[in-house]
Amino acid sequence: MCGIFGVVATRDASKTEALLRALFRLSESRGKEASGIAGIAGDVIHVLKSPVPSTELLKTKMYASYVERVVDRPRGDRSPVAVIGHSRLVTNGAQTEHSNNQPVCVAEIAGVHNGIIVNEDELWRGHPELERTHEVDTEVLLRLVRHGANQGGSFIAGVRSALAQVHGVANVAMFASELDQLTIATNNGSIYYAADPAIGFFAFASERYILEKALAKTGHGELAVEQLVAGAGLVVDLTTAAVHEFALSPAKPNTIVESNGVHRTLDIRALDGAVKKMSSRPPATHSDTPPAWFVEAEQRNREAIGRLVRCVRCVQPETIPFVGFDRDGLCIDCRNYQPIIQKGREALEEVLAPIRSRTSRADVLVPLSGGRDSCYALHYIVRVLGLNPIAYTYDWGMVTDLARRNASRMCSTLGVEHIIVSADITQKRAYIRKNVEAWLTKPDLGLIPLFMAGDKQFFHHAEQLQKRTNVAFQIWGNNRLERSDFKTGFCGFDRAGYKDNSLFHLGLKNNLEYVAYYLKAFAKNRGYLNTSIPDTLFSYFLYFVKKNTYLDLYDFIPWDEEVVVSTLLDQYDWEVSTDTRSTWRIGDGTAAFYNYIYWTAAGFSESDTFRSGQVRDGSMSRAHAQDVVDEENRPRFASLNWYCRTIGVDLERTLRVINEIPKLYPV
């Protein structure tokens, strides 16, 4: 999620600004939508924040002025320097609203927070005595800290009380106006720190790599970096840089004497000029209620799709490219089906045995999309295999808030460090918009994967993180039954039956022809010749050319939908979508859109091919599969609305164009 960091220098502050700059730049990988900083100078806590990436903020005159006032010291001035910072990935509260950006300043606390509080609304309802002035979830955390401090008689008591009530990931660093201390706490272990009280120095960041890299750049590379484990906190004395650790569990006594100081006021400034960097594109029109024509079109299409001929064994319809029904009505995938045989848990344990860490260091990296398969994989890896993983998410702008909240639930409950690598989300969404708008002028089912190209950098960042965290393996939670060979089929390629879902099996010749298909389409539709091309080419390379190596959990253990779903709902209070009864693909912001196109134009979606796979492997009857497909193919209007609003295209126009596409079935 977001990146938080900070520095305390009580003796020699000469390298502090350089270290802050390095931490700011490196932390931008965790959030590029806003940035801010809070520091103490005398009896004032100075705050500067802006809705721009940290690298933009660092270039401003306002930041230079801030550094001169708060960080730099005149010759001979030995007063301590204490600063905390934040690079924001927007979750709750728009970044264009100044009060939502961090540091958040309420209840005489200036704090930065990394994580998502999933029970925010419940907490506000449960504490009507607390005043709410912001949209961001960090506000309720800080107000609970102050409320608990007032009731418990100490700031640490307030931190313990607040973290005990919060559900979801919470990594927080705070200055209280009345204390000469920096207080830090974590419930999932996503904080690393380096300290040397002998020289009056302390620094922290959200990732080990970020902190080690920044320290090395600024002459502090010899300092050891430690992880603040889940369920722990630190108090850093701002006059000596002495560090005291405390447990968040209230059952353990508080032996820390809090350091009182002068009562500080808050000076909060916004770099308003940076708002000009935000898009000035006029808003598209949207509605929360499906229009009558949309409902009528859905019913008409549904009746026609219900008449399609389907495989006699599975539920794949005749409109799937190269479906290959034989005289008995059996599709080519059913004729060529080879059962998926898992290697077994023992085989996985044997692979993992040599790399199990005997310390608190992480064993493996686990990609976490926030969807059910990856969430269950994280559960299994921690609770069953007993490994110490780092969870990783690539947020490219189409990860939904629901997926983020579910990932937060998992990581906080399991006490797992969670690293989110954030793309330039504004830019990524602009790329999607340009390609969707080009597609709408000349719809082509073979080109729909362009809308999802931007997420393929997931592979690249996973590989980079594996190197940075020095873990031996990535363990993924891919469901082998989720197949989408039909996507290349719409480009004219016969997958020749049930093979691995990859263009590697098409061979070099077909790969070149696949690229040629796109080049011809681009030549006919110049709208595709836009700034997204380098991003798309890199994604193509990562997905279709570069060999990605990782362990897949479901190559070793069976994927059982009932076990997966019940575990997540019962043990983690996993959240489901309000616009579908299915738990499949509810965290992917693109799936509802492109599957609606496939279903409307061709009479099927990914659900048909996925559920057909379950029929083949014996985990679902054909009749049940048909019922599930009928339900999952119902247009998710709220999700379609979100998608169009998020990328900035007109909902009404987009849906009308989709419905006007010539159908592959008679209506």
Q: With 70 as the cut, is the pLDDT of residue 58 above it?
A: yes
Q: What share of the chain is helix, strand, coil (3-state, %, to 5)?
A: 45, 15, 40
What's the whole-number mean pLDDT along residues 341-359? 89
Q: With 60 as the cut, is the pLDDT of residue 350 above it?
A: yes
Classify strands 417-422 and 389-395 as parallel, antiparallel or unpaired. Answer: parallel
* Closest-CA residue to 376 (of 477, 520, 252): 477
Contacts with 278 (C-beta within 8 Å, 6 or more apart), sequence order? 51, 96, 426
Question: Which comes out higher in pLDDT, residue 21 or 279?
Answer: 21
142, amino acid identity? L
What confidence score (pLDDT) does residue 95 get? Answer: 43
Give, as one character, the DSSP assignment of residue 260: B
What confidence score (pLDDT) does residue 39 get? Answer: 93
What confidence score (pLDDT) does residue 402 get? Answer: 94
What confidence score (pLDDT) does residue 77 get? Answer: 62
Residues in the chain: 667
Cβ neighbours, 10 Å, residue 160: 25
Contact, 114 vs 169, CB < 8 A?
Answer: yes
Among the ranges given (107-116, 238-247, 277-286, 622-631), the one the predictor scored with the smallest mean pLDDT:
277-286
Q: Measuring CA to CA, how many Å separate 573 from each of 86, 118, 122, 406?
A: 29, 10, 14, 9
Task: Report the alpha-carbon distance of residue 411 to residue 434 in Å, rounded.
Answer: 35
Which helix (H) or strand (E) is 112 found in, with range?
strand 109-114
Contact, 617 vs 340, CB < 8 A?
Answer: yes
Burial of 301 (0-12, 13-18, 19+ CB in 10 A): buried
Burial of 341 (0-12, 13-18, 19+ CB in 10 A): exposed
Classify strands 243-247 and 226-227 as parallel, antiparallel or unpaired. Answer: unpaired
Contact, 192 vs 204, CB < 8 A?
Answer: yes
Q: With 80 as the cut, is the pLDDT of residue 7 above it?
A: yes
Q: With 90 as the cut, is the pLDDT of residue 89 above it?
A: no
What's the whole-number mean pLDDT along residues 543-548? 81
What confidence score (pLDDT) does residue 12 get? Answer: 80
Q: With 80 as the cut, is the pLDDT of residue 120 above it?
A: yes
Which helix (H) or strand (E) is 475 found in, with range?
strand 473-476
pLDDT class for 251, splitting at 50, 70, 90?
Answer: low
Task: Report the alpha-carbon distance of residue 272 to residue 505 in Å, rounded.
Answer: 53
Phi, psi of 185 (to 5 degrees): -150, 155
> Which domains does the chain possess?
3-270 (3.60.20.10), 292-660 (3.40.50.620)
Task: Report the alpha-carbon distance of residue 271 to residue 95 in Å, rounded.
Answer: 12
* Closest-CA residue to 32 (of 47, 18, 51): 51
Q: Measuring CA to CA, how many Å separate 259 from each of 162, 305, 453?
A: 20, 71, 52
Q: With 50 as the cut, is the pLDDT of residue 273 above it?
A: no
Residue ranges with strand state E in 396-457:
417-422
- The alpha-carbon radius of gyration of the chain (Å, integer) is 27
3-state DSSP of 208-259? HHHHHHHHHHCCCCCCCCEECCCCEEEEEECCCCCEEEEECCCCCCCCCCCC
Q: With 70 as the cut, is the pLDDT of residue 272 above it?
A: no
Task: Report the alpha-carbon distance of residue 113 to residue 137 in Å, rounded.
Answer: 9
Q: What is the pLDDT of residues 447-472, one digit of tens each?
A: 999 999 999 999 999 999 999 999 98
pLDDT class for 54, splitting at 50, 70, 90?
Answer: confident
Q: What is the pLDDT of residues 127-176, one digit of tens each?
A: 999 999 888 899 999 999 999 999 999 999 999 999 999 999 999 999 99
Q: With 90 as the cut, is the pLDDT of residue 365 above it?
A: yes
Task: Report the alpha-carbon distance of residue 381 to residue 388 in Å, rounded.
Answer: 8
Question: Which comes out higher in pLDDT, residue 290 or 92?
Answer: 290
* Closest-CA residue to 37 (of 28, 29, 47, 27): 47
What confidence score (pLDDT) does residue 264 get? Answer: 85
Rounded to 10 degrees, the C-alpha dihedral 341/342/346/347 comes to 90
What's the whole-number mean pLDDT along residues 65-76? 78
Q: Measuring CA to CA, how many Å separate 56 from each of 61, 103, 150, 187, 271?
A: 11, 17, 39, 31, 11
Contact, 3 vs 114, CB < 8 A?
Answer: yes
Q: With 80 as the cut, is the pLDDT of residue 327 above it?
A: yes
Q: For 366, how many CA atoms within 13 A lie in the half-sphere containing its CB? A: 28
Q: With 60 as the cut, is the pLDDT of residue 76 above it?
A: no
Phi, psi of 54 (to 5 degrees): -60, -35
What confidence score (pLDDT) does residue 534 get? Answer: 95
Contact, 657 vs 649, CB < 8 A?
Answer: no
Identify how many contiguous H helices and E strands the chain contains and give both numbers: 23, 19
Contact, 475 vs 556, CB < 8 A?
Answer: no
What confidence score (pLDDT) does residue 499 get? Answer: 47
What's the whole-number mean pLDDT along residues 308-327? 96
Q: Which parts of 232-382 fold into alpha helices (H)?
A: 292-305, 332-335, 345-352, 372-379
Contact, 277 vs 198, CB < 8 A?
Answer: no
Does the N-terminal peptide bond of residue 253 adopt cis geometry, omega within 30 degrees of 0?
no
Contact, 51 vs 96, CB < 8 A?
Answer: yes
Residue with structure tokens 């693909």? 585
pLDDT class for 269, splitting at 50, 70, 90?
Answer: confident
Give, as one character, the DSSP assignment of residue 480: T
Phi, psi of 34 (to 5 degrees): -165, 165
pTM of the model: 0.90
Average per-residue pLDDT for the chain:
89
Tokens matching residue 227:
């992880």
Tokens matching residue 407:
């990932």
Question: What percentage of the chain carries pLDDT values higher than 90?
Answer: 72
